[in-house]
Amino acid sequence: MFSIISLLQEIDINEKIKEAPDSSYEIGVFIGSLLPFVTLVIIAYAIFRYNKNRANNDE
């Protein structure tokens, strides 16, 4: 199910940049493509810190 959704939402960044109305659109595409990854890294780090602090307090 997940792979079907990801295939439907596949985005060609180079195509979007070619069709960009101006250079500021390019920056938005770049930020928009990195934002999900950065968000996942921040969430993973927060979970790691939470579990590390909880383990230290249990000892």
What mean pLDDT do residues 8-33 have?
Answer: 74
* pLDDT at 56 (0 to 100): 83
Q: What's the CA gap between 23 and 16, in Å, rounded?
A: 12
Q: What percent of the chain has pLDDT over 70?
A: 76
**Structure tokens of 4?**
């079907």
Residue 59 vs residue 18, higher pLDDT: 18
* pLDDT at 22 (0 to 100): 77
* pLDDT at 6 (0 to 100): 57
* pLDDT at 36 (0 to 100): 87
Q: What's the CA gap between 23 and 3, in Å, rounded?
A: 32
Q: What's the CA gap between 38 and 34, in Å, rounded?
A: 6
